[in-house]
Structure 1
Amino acid sequence: MRRTIAALTMAAALMTGGCATAPAADAPALASAPAAQPPADAGLNRLVQAVNIPYEEFTLDNGLRVVVHEDRKAPVVAVSVWYNVGSKDEPKGKTGFAHLFEHLMFNGSENAPGDYFEPLREIGATDFNGTTWFDRTNYFQTVPTPALERALFLESDRMGHLLGAVTQEKLTNQIGVVQNEKRQGDNQPFGLVEYAQLEALMPEGHPYHHSTIGSMADLDSASLEDVKQWFRDKYGPNNAVLVLAGDVSASEARPLVQKYFGDIPRGPVNTPAAAPVPTLAAPKAETMKDRVAFTRLYRNWTVPGMTDPEYVPLDVGAAVLGGLASSRLDNELVRKDQTAVRVSASVQPFQRLSLFEVQADVKPGVDPNVVAQRVDAIIADLVANGPTQDEVRRVVMRDLSSRIQGLEQVGGFGGKATALAEGELYADDAGFYKKQLAAYATVTPDSVKAALQKWLNRPVYALTVVPGERDAYEEAAASKGAASQRPRYYREPQPGEQPMAPLPFVEGRPLPQVGSIPNLDFPDVQRATLSNGVKVTYAQRTSVPVTRVALEFDAGIAADPAAKLGTQSLMLNLLEEGTTSRNSIQIAEEQERLGASINPGASLDRTGVTLTALSANLAPSLALMGDIVKNPAFDPAEVERIRAQQLAGIAAEMTQPQGLALRALPPLLYGAAHPYGKPFTGTGDPAAVKAVTRDELFAFHRAWIRPDNAEIFAVSDLPLATLLPLLEGQFGNWAPAPAVKGVKNFAAVPPAPKQRIVLIDRPQSPQSLILAGEVLPLKGTDDILVLDSANEILGGNFLSRINMDLRETKGWSYGAWSLIQMIENRMPFIVQAPVQADKTGPAVAAIIDHVKNFTGSKGVTPAELQRVVNGNTRELAGNFETSAAVLSALRSNALFNRPDDYYETLASRYQGMTQQALDDAARKVIDPSKLVWVIVGDAAKVRPQLTSLGIPVEVVPAQPRQ
């Protein structure tokens, strides 16, 4: 469960104070994999060797384990603290405590009072968050190098100086926030499935029997002393791992870590509870009703944990079954039988065990029993006969390529710090990632078959979720058992073991100063032009041997034909489903063998096809991309298959709060005749999708997907002189079709704003989704930096007025925000707030008050201005750490007609901002009386709350009446 910031995934034991160094060999060149053959074992081994995160580690006298990885590519450091405690360590009657405590850890410590995000924002932290899961709780941020000492102070203060800052008021508030996080998850289609799975698969008292989010009743019963004792028992330094990755060496890090963490006393050792892999006594089948668009089938088994030798072959087996784009289930059920619209299989890893899961979404109109029999037969065949060598190698190549790409980021949810921390915490080996990758490279079809036969021949849990009125759902059902009861696997305190004694409060413990942070040095931008006039914009990044290419067309959702909404989406979804020389399976398999990823997609303004490829395999990857873009077959059988999938996707959107809101708001803001007056999901209108012909798909492709409507953006470790001939070979001789080039018409004027509330009735919703918007008199080519900075204060980030009120003060929401949506033409101002159902009306009133006050007499304060200036200037280096971020910036600069040095000028522009300038920018264009509201919720509960607002209310059903 992650604590989300607003607007829209493992050395031997060391002697105390000792130091060990992991191997730090240079990464060898990558082997090129032939397009038509699986890579040789030698090639896979060379790829494994290329995945290298050299590190040093040491342990403080108090038991804190520290791992340091030096990476000087950018002036940033990832600071990641992982605690050896998760929801599996919770006693019965106290479920959700680990996650609740994670929230409290963000509410300030004794020497850093106030919300923890405040000082993080001030120092320009990026990728900052905290998460709780079954096995661990972690806190992480990437900070500019001169702010490292400040980050270490903050992390150490909440490790050693927290309890004096934990109050009943904070606890009560965060209980409300966590309960709204639970409501937000429960409110989604299939949102109750995890509870059923854990209940069925794990025996009563097993540490993994309950979900990390916990129960409403247990959260309600949490006392101040409960959470303080949780801290004393679980948050000692000897129960934690600190990883520093980035612009720092071990010799630089050690004195800083000693300075800030060295005086924190040891606590109890949290030895993870014993958690054997349970086996059902007999197969178990259950059916659940939910407000869903189609039937979904689940097959689940418990299997060994992530450090077990059998985990890797099981993970490979799951990918062969339903993880690859060319998986067995995809090929048989989605492509061949066309009885399912989506399938998947995966292993969700935990420390003590893992969950092997298969899913199949039944095509509407198909008998679920027929699909269930086919799913079981396909699983049984793989278990009996195992995968082929080619299937195994495709899985491994895909995973190795993904890991190589991940090496570019030092922090965040999946960077190098995460790989080192997981290994240290779960395997007592920061280099465990290397051993696991070696296991992938050497896995064989026989080892996969043996693991599948051992674990999937056990009784299965089969869950079927069918459309219907959701079964009775009680938010705060009574807790099962007294709070004092312990699960039978609970580890009792050891004799003589004492809780951690928190350090006494030392008033005035000084907050370290932040050193001078240099301005961003954005990569140099180079340009070229292909023979046919296609422009190429390029920047070089050499940290990983990866190339990213975006072939972009001036189209987007705005180009979707008003009479046939969904045409573009259907066309894009078909590009990878067959060309004049390759079928869909061949395209999927070739990407997997190359370790490449090709993705068609669209924003409101642009349509694009992106390629991410290992640079050693760039030539064949580009050849595949070129074939997909230029030579679609739109095979009639594939058209019908993808059409059915898109229709199922639209039906699913109409069961989701977010999908319903994003479909409803745009035509209310822009009018149906405007290019932006279309569902922002881009999936279109179901009646229109049913009627689109193959000829119309070809016509759309000829009009919009053409070289005289295209531009290429690329970021690579290869120099432009090497990349350009490859681009020229694929796209330089591409001639436009004789059809007339498509042109978007923005002449239509959005309707005059008419304040109203459209309440979409979605019964049984424990939470309401509030979405409001108005069209601004601004275009994306206008300079809106000052306005966007003003919006940050109103609702644009975690510390904004709207979020801090609805979430941190009132506890009505898990997160609320506002944004100026950057698009090429008329931009909207949008507010979004999911809130508990009984606070819908008051939440709307609170949002209106915030917007009125902000654009009226309560404008920007000096403190708010300084926070925006400091945060936005200091975060620039962290924002452009990866080649993906640089590629996105190149594309944005082109779309909004910005100069190449745009991002390098931002620091000085932020520093020149004034309160008056921000106030003027907001007051000029944001008018709360012009907001149009869409609310998705249970009308019977919500409608009465809206009467006092003085805004007309129209109630409409979530599903169109038949």
Structure 2
Amino acid sequence: MINKLKLIACFLLIGSAGVAQEVEFTEYDLDNGLHVILHQDNTAPVVTIGVMYHVGSKDEAPGRTGFAHFFEHLLFEGTQNIDRGEWFNIVAANGGNNNANTTEDRTYYYETFPSNNLELGLWMESERMLHPVINQIGVDTQNEVVKEEKRTRVDNAPYGKIIYNTGIVPYMFDKHPYKHSVIGTMEDLDAAQLDEFKGFFDKYYNPNNAALVVAGDIDIEKTKKMIKDYFGPIPSGPEVERVDIEEEPIEEKIIATEYDSNIQIPAMIYVYRTPSMKERDAYVLDMISSILTDGKSSRMYKKMVDQDKEAIQVLAFPRTMEDYGLYLMGALAMGDTPLDTLASSMDEEIKKLQNELISEEEFQKLQNKFENRFVNSNSSVQGIASSLATYYMLYGDTDLINEEIDIYRDITREEIKEVANKYLKENQRLELEYLPQTDTQ
């Protein structure tokens, strides 16, 4: 009886946690095309104001890579009403924090404030959209900042070419601008003229190419009025023509070698081109990643790290994007283990997924992991704001913040086997030997 009561209590706890994570929101459009999403949560006096622009590295012109990421920095320089260098000071002085980030598909800016500074946050983001100062001193300053970031995060970081895709995407895409890394090249930024930066802003940083999210301790009607006051007068821009480039399928194995002077341990990496983040198969691949390398009980970790002691670390994860995706698998060699040995072990795990259904026990464990991830995914208003903007802009369905878990729940063992066969094919992948740089290379 005691065990049954514990079991019932556990189910009740899981059920209540799931309900607690239900995110209610209101969304609508202003006349200028700005999409607005509001989430009210008055449990803590905190509010996040975020603006996501539908522009990423894939939207850059040939020979001008790095523009989208560059703007992530440039638009903190100042506005007509915020003095140069004062953006961060204003946020900090009012008890807030802020940041921005860029991907292949979008750029996101946000501030988190005590909720009595909601209006300040709205004003600052409207200033960024309407009145940014884009001048040569700002471009020159941020050019140096971006160069230092590239040196720190990519050029001088161990496995930087893998982490930031710079050593991967040129092999995986021929036509699509995903073939360029998000951070771009410094040569392209150095060659750009001031008018090109202004033109990039005029093309993409308009209300009809953006989503504004306000999440936290707010009053919906009062917030709507402030949004209309600050963002309503901003004029719409031209309609953005979206990238529409289809890649030819990869039909022959790509074999390549990359060198890294910052590492001592070689790695064997497999990379597959996969479907858009919006496709159901992308969710299945996410589950496959968990089976292979999520935790010490995962298949690759148990075999390659614990049992055979041929790897010191294993990895498998999808890099999801709006148009296509990438799926990476890899292992770092233990001692003098040949990379061929790592490759054989990874192939063995792939074949198991392709030829055998995962057990019911493993499948239930997998479902539990994703349920737990869902329950914890929206634990802060800052996270909720980012999720709402992402689901709207890149998936076209804001409701996914609550409903995405149903996709995972609906995935079957048979589907996992089917997707492994569909995408993890030897003739459709990059086999990358990632080696320490030596003086002779």
Q: Which bracket does the TM-score occupy, shorter chain normalised?
A: over 0.9
The equivalent position to 1:310 in structure 2, one of 281, 286, 294, is 281
1:396 and 1:270 map into 2 onto residues whose CA distance is: 40
1:427-438 equivalent positions in 2, closer than 5 A: 427-438=395-406
The question of whether the paired residues in 2 share the 8 Å contact of 1:277 and 1:302 is answered with no
Deviations 1:820-862 (A, max 9, x none): xxxxxxxxxxxxxxxxxxxxxxxxxxxxxxxxxxxxxxxxxxx
The equivalent position to 1:176 in structure 2, one of 127, 139, 144, is 144
Question: Residues 471 and 51 of structure 1: is their aligned pair in 2 closer, same or farther, counting only changes over 3 Å?
Answer: farther
Counterpart of 1:468 in structure 2 is 437
1:266 and 1:333 map into 2 onto residues whose CA distance is: 55
Counterpart of 1:452 in structure 2 is 420
1:597-746 equivalent positions in 2, closer than 5 A: none
2:412 and 2:403 map into 1 onto residues whose CA distance is: 16
The amino acid across from 2:438 in the alignment is E
The equivalent position to 1:279 in structure 2, one of 230, 249, 272, is 249
The amino acid across from 1:105 in the alignment is L
The equivalent position to 1:400 in structure 2, one of 352, 371, 381, is 371
Q: Work out which structure has the larger RCO, using CA pairs closer than 8 Å and 6 or more positions apart in sequence.
A: 2
1:275 and 1:249 map into 2 onto residues whose CA distance is: 43
Counterpart of 1:105 in structure 2 is 75
Question: Does 2:49 correspond to 1:79?
Answer: yes
Q: CA deviation at 1:268?
A: 2.0
The question of whether the paired residues in 1 share the 8 Å contact of 2:388 and 2:401 is answered with yes
1:60 and 1:362 map into 2 onto residues whose CA distance is: 55
Q: CA deviation at 1:46?
A: 7.3
Counterpart of 1:344 in structure 2 is 315
Question: Does 2:213 correspond to 1:233?
Answer: no
1:354 and 1:195 map into 2 onto residues whose CA distance is: 15
Question: Residues 225 and 392 of structure 1: is their aligned pair in 2 closer, same or farther, counting only changes over 3 Å?
Answer: farther
Counterpart of 1:333 in structure 2 is 304
1:323 and 1:275 map into 2 onto residues whose CA distance is: 34
Deviations 1:862-901 (A, max 9, x none): xxxxxxxxxxxxxxxxxxxxxxxxxxxxxxxxxxxxxxxx
The question of whether the paired residues in 2 share the 8 Å contact of 1:33 and 1:43 is answered with no
The equivalent position to 1:323 in structure 2, one of 291, 294, 301, is 294
Question: Residues 390 and 88 of structure 1: is their aligned pair in 2 closer, same or farther, counting only changes over 3 Å?
Answer: farther
2:176 and 2:440 map into 1 onto residues whose CA distance is: 26
Q: CA deviation at 1:278?
A: 5.0
The question of whether the paired residues in 1 share the 8 Å contact of 2:23 and 2:401 is answered with no
Deviations 1:704-738 (A, max 9, x none): xxxxxxxxxxxxxxxxxxxxxxxxxxxxxxxxxxx
Question: Residues 278 and 394 of structure 1: is their aligned pair in 2 closer, same or farther, counting only changes over 3 Å?
Answer: farther
Deviations 1:776-814 (A, max 9, x none): xxxxxxxxxxxxxxxxxxxxxxxxxxxxxxxxxxxxxxx
1:51 and 1:295 map into 2 onto residues whose CA distance is: 42
The equivalent position to 2:172 in structure 1, one of 201, 208, 218, is 201
Question: Does 2:236 correspond to 1:262?
Answer: no
Q: CA deviation at 1:49?
A: 4.5
Q: CA deviation at 1:355?
A: 1.2
Counterpart secondary structure, 2:48: strand
1:354-393 equivalent positions in 2, closer than 5 A: 354-393=325-364
Counterpart of 2:185 in structure 1 is 215
Counterpart of 1:54 in structure 2 is 24
Counterpart of 1:298 in structure 2 is 269
Question: Does 2:156 correspond to 1:190?
Answer: no
The amino acid across from 1:343 in the alignment is V
Q: Cα RMSD over matched residues?
A: 2.3
Deviations 1:220-244 (A, max 9, x none): 1121101100010001101000111
2:357 and 2:37 map into 1 onto residues whose CA distance is: 39
The question of whether the paired residues in 2 share the 8 Å contact of 1:290 and 1:471 is answered with no
Counterpart secondary structure, 2:61: coil
2:138 and 2:303 map into 1 onto residues whose CA distance is: 53
1:329 and 1:132 map into 2 onto residues whose CA distance is: 31
Q: CA deviation at 1:402?
A: 2.9
The amino acid across from 2:303 in the alignment is E
The question of whether the paired residues in 1 share the 8 Å contact of 2:273 and 2:429 is answered with no
Deviations 1:47-81 (A, max 9, x none): 65543110111211001111111111111111111
Counterpart secondary structure, 1:129: strand
Counterpart of 2:91 in structure 1 is 120
The question of whether the paired residues in 2 share the 8 Å contact of 1:306 and 1:353 is answered with yes
Q: CA deviation at 1:368?
A: 2.1
**Residue segments in structure 1 that go unaligned for 5+ positions in a row:** 1-30, 473-962
2:215 and 2:239 map into 1 onto residues whose CA distance is: 26
The question of whether the paired residues in 1 share the 8 Å contact of 2:258 and 2:434 is answered with yes
Give the helix-richer structure, 1 or 2: 2
TM-score, normalisation: structure 2 = 0.92
The amino acid across from 2:284 in the alignment is P
Question: Residues 148 and 91 of structure 1: is their aligned pair in 2 closer, same or farther, counting only changes over 3 Å?
Answer: same
Aligned length: 431
The question of whether the paired residues in 1 share the 8 Å contact of 2:161 and 2:168 is answered with no
The question of whether the paired residues in 2 share the 8 Å contact of 1:289 and 1:470 is answered with no
Question: Does 2:120 correspond to 1:139?
Answer: no
1:468-867 equivalent positions in 2, closer than 5 A: 468-469=437-438
1:354 and 1:325 map into 2 onto residues whose CA distance is: 26
The amino acid across from 1:176 in the alignment is E
The question of whether the paired residues in 2 share the 8 Å contact of 1:322 and 1:328 is answered with yes
The question of whether the paired residues in 2 share the 8 Å contact of 1:85 and 1:270 is answered with no
TM-score, normalisation: structure 1 = 0.43
Counterpart secondary structure, 2:280: coil
The equivalent position to 2:390 in structure 1, one of 409, 422, 425, is 422
Radius of gyration: which is bigger?
1
The amino acid across from 1:461 in the alignment is L
2:439 and 2:36 map into 1 onto residues whose CA distance is: 48
Deviations 1:440-473 (A, max 9, x none): 122111111111211112511111112332787x
Counterpart secondary structure, 1:293: coil
The equivalent position to 1:441 in structure 2, one of 409, 414, 426, is 409
Q: CA deviation at 1:284?
A: 1.1
Q: CA deviation at 1:33?
A: 6.7
The question of whether the paired residues in 1 share the 8 Å contact of 2:274 and 2:327 is answered with yes
The question of whether the paired residues in 2 share the 8 Å contact of 1:330 and 1:342 is answered with yes
Q: CA deviation at 1:363?
A: 0.3
2:316 and 2:405 map into 1 onto residues whose CA distance is: 20
Q: CA deviation at 1:151?
A: 0.9
1:32 and 1:245 map into 2 onto residues whose CA distance is: 36
**Residue segments in structure 2 that go unaligned for 5+ positions in a row:** none
The amino acid across from 1:326 in the alignment is S
The equivalent position to 1:167 in structure 2, one of 108, 127, 135, is 135
How many percent of aligned residue pairs carry the same amino acid?
Answer: 30
2:439 and 2:150 map into 1 onto residues whose CA distance is: 17
2:6 and 2:25 map into 1 onto residues whose CA distance is: 28
Deviations 1:362-412 (A, max 9, x none): 10122221221111121122122243333233233223323323433101x
